[in-house]
Chains A and B, each alone.
Chain A
Amino acid sequence: DQQVKQNSPSLSVQEGRISILNCDYTNSMFDYFLWYKKYPAEGPTFLISISSIKDKNEDGRFTVFLNKSAKHLSLHIVPSQPGDSAVYFCAARGYGGSQGNLIFGKGTKLSVKP
Protein backbone atom coordinates (compact mmCIF):
# COMPACT_ATOMS: atom_id res chain seq x y z
CA ASP A 1 0.00 0.00 0.00
CA GLN A 2 1.71 3.14 -1.25
CA GLN A 3 1.40 6.00 1.19
CA VAL A 4 3.16 8.47 -1.10
CA LYS A 5 2.35 8.40 -4.79
CA GLN A 6 3.93 10.09 -7.75
CA ASN A 7 1.67 9.08 -10.59
CA SER A 8 3.75 10.48 -13.44
CA PRO A 9 6.88 8.43 -14.00
CA SER A 10 8.25 11.02 -16.40
CA LEU A 11 7.81 14.63 -17.51
CA SER A 12 9.35 16.50 -20.42
CA VAL A 13 9.51 20.30 -20.42
CA GLN A 14 11.09 22.94 -22.65
CA GLU A 15 13.88 25.06 -21.18
CA GLY A 16 12.54 28.29 -19.68
CA ARG A 17 9.04 26.92 -19.10
CA ILE A 18 7.52 25.79 -15.82
CA SER A 19 7.91 22.21 -14.55
CA ILE A 20 5.17 20.96 -12.25
CA LEU A 21 5.74 17.72 -10.39
CA ASN A 22 2.88 16.23 -8.43
CA CYS A 23 2.63 14.04 -5.37
CA ASP A 24 -0.30 12.57 -3.45
CA TYR A 25 -0.33 10.99 -0.02
CA THR A 26 -2.79 8.92 1.91
CA ASN A 27 -1.64 9.10 5.53
CA SER A 28 -3.20 12.05 7.36
CA MET A 29 -0.53 11.70 10.07
CA PHE A 30 2.11 13.10 7.73
CA ASP A 31 2.99 16.62 8.74
CA TYR A 32 6.23 17.35 6.93
CA PHE A 33 6.93 17.00 3.23
CA LEU A 34 10.16 17.11 1.29
CA TRP A 35 11.38 17.04 -2.29
CA TYR A 36 14.64 15.45 -3.32
CA LYS A 37 16.47 15.44 -6.61
CA LYS A 38 18.57 12.52 -7.75
CA TYR A 39 21.11 12.17 -10.53
CA PRO A 40 22.18 8.71 -11.70
CA ALA A 41 24.79 7.03 -9.50
CA GLU A 42 24.45 9.70 -6.81
CA GLY A 43 22.53 9.97 -3.56
CA PRO A 44 19.35 12.05 -3.43
CA THR A 45 19.88 15.75 -2.72
CA PHE A 46 17.48 17.66 -0.53
CA LEU A 47 15.71 20.46 -2.42
CA ILE A 48 12.92 22.00 -0.43
CA SER A 49 10.46 21.12 2.32
CA ILE A 50 7.15 22.27 3.72
CA SER A 51 5.46 21.84 7.06
CA SER A 52 1.76 21.02 7.21
CA ILE A 53 1.05 24.35 8.87
CA LYS A 54 1.96 26.11 5.63
CA ASP A 55 0.53 25.90 2.14
CA LYS A 56 3.48 27.30 0.23
CA ASN A 57 7.25 27.50 0.54
CA GLU A 58 9.53 29.16 -1.96
CA ASP A 59 13.27 28.93 -2.48
CA GLY A 60 14.62 30.59 -5.60
CA ARG A 61 13.27 28.81 -8.67
CA PHE A 62 11.61 26.13 -6.55
CA THR A 63 8.20 26.43 -4.92
CA VAL A 64 6.32 23.71 -3.10
CA PHE A 65 2.55 23.92 -2.66
CA LEU A 66 0.61 21.86 -0.14
CA ASN A 67 -3.12 21.19 -0.28
CA LYS A 68 -3.90 19.31 2.91
CA SER A 69 -7.57 18.77 2.22
CA ALA A 70 -6.70 17.07 -1.07
CA LYS A 71 -3.60 15.40 0.41
CA HIS A 72 -1.64 16.74 -2.52
CA LEU A 73 1.58 18.59 -2.98
CA SER A 74 3.39 19.89 -5.99
CA LEU A 75 6.82 21.19 -6.85
CA HIS A 76 7.08 24.06 -9.32
CA ILE A 77 10.36 24.84 -11.03
CA VAL A 78 10.45 28.06 -12.97
CA PRO A 79 12.21 28.71 -15.21
CA SER A 80 13.28 25.15 -15.92
CA GLN A 81 16.90 24.60 -16.91
CA PRO A 82 18.60 21.61 -18.60
CA GLY A 83 20.57 21.02 -15.37
CA ASP A 84 17.26 20.33 -13.63
CA SER A 85 16.97 17.07 -15.58
CA ALA A 86 16.95 14.40 -12.88
CA VAL A 87 14.59 12.13 -10.96
CA TYR A 88 12.54 14.00 -8.37
CA PHE A 89 11.29 12.22 -5.28
CA CYS A 90 8.55 13.41 -3.01
CA ALA A 91 8.81 12.30 0.64
CA ALA A 92 6.59 12.58 3.70
CA ARG A 93 6.96 11.98 7.38
CA GLY A 94 4.94 12.18 10.56
CA TYR A 95 6.27 13.23 13.93
CA GLY A 96 7.78 11.05 16.59
CA GLY A 97 8.39 7.32 16.93
CA SER A 98 7.68 5.22 13.90
CA GLN A 99 5.76 8.13 12.44
CA GLY A 100 9.16 9.71 11.90
CA ASN A 101 9.70 7.38 8.97
CA LEU A 102 10.53 9.19 5.81
CA ILE A 103 8.42 7.59 3.09
CA PHE A 104 9.24 8.22 -0.55
CA GLY A 105 7.25 8.15 -3.74
CA LYS A 106 8.60 6.26 -6.76
CA GLY A 107 9.93 9.38 -8.41
CA THR A 108 9.29 11.40 -11.54
CA LYS A 109 11.99 11.65 -14.16
CA LEU A 110 12.16 15.25 -15.41
CA SER A 111 13.76 16.01 -18.77
CA VAL A 112 14.32 19.66 -19.60
CA LYS A 113 15.01 20.13 -23.30
CA PRO A 114 17.13 23.03 -24.54
Chain B
Amino acid sequence: NAGVMQNPRHLVRRRGQEARLRCSPMKGHSHVYWYRQLPEEGLKFMVYLQKENIIDESGMPKERFSAEFPKEGPSILRIQQVVRGDSAAYFCASCRDQGEAFFGQGTRLTVV
Protein backbone atom coordinates (compact mmCIF):
# COMPACT_ATOMS: atom_id res chain seq x y z
CA ASN B 1 0.00 0.00 0.00
CA ALA B 2 2.53 2.54 -1.19
CA GLY B 3 1.77 6.17 -0.61
CA VAL B 4 2.88 9.05 -2.77
CA MET B 5 6.55 8.56 -3.58
CA GLN B 6 8.84 11.46 -4.29
CA ASN B 7 12.44 11.20 -5.30
CA PRO B 8 15.02 12.21 -4.67
CA ARG B 9 14.45 13.31 -1.07
CA HIS B 10 17.39 15.68 -1.28
CA LEU B 11 18.83 17.26 -4.39
CA VAL B 12 21.80 19.59 -4.64
CA ARG B 13 22.39 21.50 -7.82
CA ARG B 14 24.82 24.21 -8.85
CA ARG B 15 23.46 27.43 -10.27
CA GLY B 16 22.61 26.99 -13.93
CA GLN B 17 22.03 23.23 -13.77
CA GLU B 18 18.72 21.47 -14.27
CA ALA B 19 16.70 19.91 -11.45
CA ARG B 20 14.25 17.05 -12.05
CA LEU B 21 11.85 16.11 -9.30
CA ARG B 22 9.77 12.96 -9.58
CA CYS B 23 6.42 12.09 -8.08
CA SER B 24 4.70 8.71 -8.30
CA PRO B 25 1.07 9.08 -7.21
CA MET B 26 -0.85 6.59 -5.13
CA LYS B 27 -2.36 3.69 -7.03
CA GLY B 28 -5.62 4.68 -8.65
CA HIS B 29 -4.93 8.41 -8.40
CA SER B 30 -5.04 10.29 -11.67
CA HIS B 31 -4.50 13.84 -10.38
CA VAL B 32 -1.28 15.36 -9.15
CA TYR B 33 -0.51 18.69 -7.49
CA TRP B 34 2.89 20.28 -7.00
CA TYR B 35 3.58 22.76 -4.20
CA ARG B 36 6.61 24.70 -3.09
CA GLN B 37 7.40 25.60 0.50
CA LEU B 38 9.99 28.26 1.15
CA PRO B 39 11.55 28.51 4.62
CA GLU B 40 9.10 29.93 7.16
CA GLU B 41 6.33 30.02 4.55
CA GLY B 42 3.23 28.01 3.73
CA LEU B 43 2.52 25.72 0.81
CA LYS B 44 2.31 27.61 -2.45
CA PHE B 45 0.38 26.01 -5.28
CA MET B 46 2.37 25.57 -8.47
CA VAL B 47 0.57 23.26 -10.86
CA TYR B 48 -2.33 20.82 -11.05
CA LEU B 49 -2.16 17.97 -13.55
CA GLN B 50 -4.25 15.11 -14.73
CA LYS B 51 -2.67 12.33 -16.78
CA GLU B 52 -1.38 13.89 -20.02
CA ASN B 53 -3.09 17.21 -19.17
CA ILE B 54 -2.15 20.37 -17.35
CA ILE B 55 -5.33 21.52 -15.62
CA ASP B 56 -3.95 24.66 -14.00
CA GLU B 57 -0.41 26.02 -14.04
CA SER B 58 -1.24 29.46 -12.69
CA GLY B 59 1.22 29.04 -9.82
CA MET B 60 4.19 28.14 -11.99
CA PRO B 61 6.84 30.78 -12.70
CA LYS B 62 6.61 31.74 -16.36
CA GLU B 63 10.16 30.75 -17.17
CA ARG B 64 12.43 27.82 -16.37
CA PHE B 65 9.71 25.71 -14.70
CA SER B 66 7.71 22.98 -16.40
CA ALA B 67 5.69 19.97 -15.31
CA GLU B 68 4.30 16.88 -16.93
CA PHE B 69 2.29 13.84 -15.95
CA PRO B 70 2.58 11.30 -18.76
CA LYS B 71 0.27 8.38 -19.39
CA GLU B 72 2.91 6.05 -18.01
CA GLY B 73 5.41 6.88 -15.32
CA PRO B 74 5.75 9.52 -12.65
CA SER B 75 4.95 13.19 -12.77
CA ILE B 76 8.05 15.32 -13.32
CA LEU B 77 8.69 18.87 -12.18
CA ARG B 78 11.60 20.30 -14.13
CA ILE B 79 13.50 23.43 -13.22
CA GLN B 80 16.00 24.63 -15.78
CA GLN B 81 18.98 26.86 -15.04
CA VAL B 82 18.38 26.79 -11.31
CA VAL B 83 19.08 29.87 -9.19
CA ARG B 84 19.59 30.19 -5.41
CA GLY B 85 16.01 31.38 -4.99
CA ASP B 86 14.74 28.00 -6.23
CA SER B 87 16.03 26.38 -3.03
CA ALA B 88 12.94 25.08 -1.27
CA ALA B 89 10.99 21.97 -0.36
CA TYR B 90 8.84 20.76 -3.22
CA PHE B 91 5.83 18.63 -2.34
CA CYS B 92 3.66 16.54 -4.57
CA ALA B 93 0.16 15.35 -3.71
CA SER B 94 -2.16 12.98 -5.53
CA CYS B 95 -5.86 12.33 -5.45
CA ARG B 96 -8.71 10.79 -7.36
CA ASP B 97 -11.05 13.16 -9.16
CA GLN B 98 -12.42 14.37 -5.84
CA GLY B 99 -11.71 13.87 -2.19
CA GLU B 100 -8.65 14.28 -0.10
CA ALA B 101 -5.17 14.62 -1.53
CA PHE B 102 -2.25 12.70 -0.07
CA PHE B 103 1.24 14.11 0.04
CA GLY B 104 4.67 12.68 -0.52
CA GLN B 105 7.58 13.38 1.79
CA GLY B 106 8.91 16.11 -0.44
CA THR B 107 12.14 16.86 -2.25
CA ARG B 108 14.49 19.38 -0.68
CA LEU B 109 16.28 21.25 -3.41
CA THR B 110 19.42 23.15 -2.50
CA VAL B 111 21.07 25.34 -5.10
CA VAL B 112 24.71 26.12 -4.38
Contact = CB atoms under 8 A, between A and B. Distances in A.
Interface in A75-93: 89
Interface string B68-81: 00000000000000
A105 B48 contact: no
A43 B91 contact: yes
Main secondary structure of the interface of B (DSSP, over half): strand
Interface residues of B, number: 27
Contact of A46 (B31, B56, B91, B101): B101
A106 interface: yes
Interface in B44-68: 44-45, 48, 55-56, 58
A101 interface: yes
Interface of B: 4, 6, 31, 33, 35, 41-45, 48, 55-56, 58, 91, 93, 95, 97-106
Interface of A: 6, 32, 34, 36, 41-46, 49, 89, 95, 97-98, 100-107
17 contacts: A32-B98, A42-B105, A43-B4, A44-B91, A46-B100, A46-B102, A89-B42, A95-B98, A100-B55, A100-B56, A100-B97, A101-B48, A101-B55, A102-B101, A104-B42, A104-B44, A107-B42
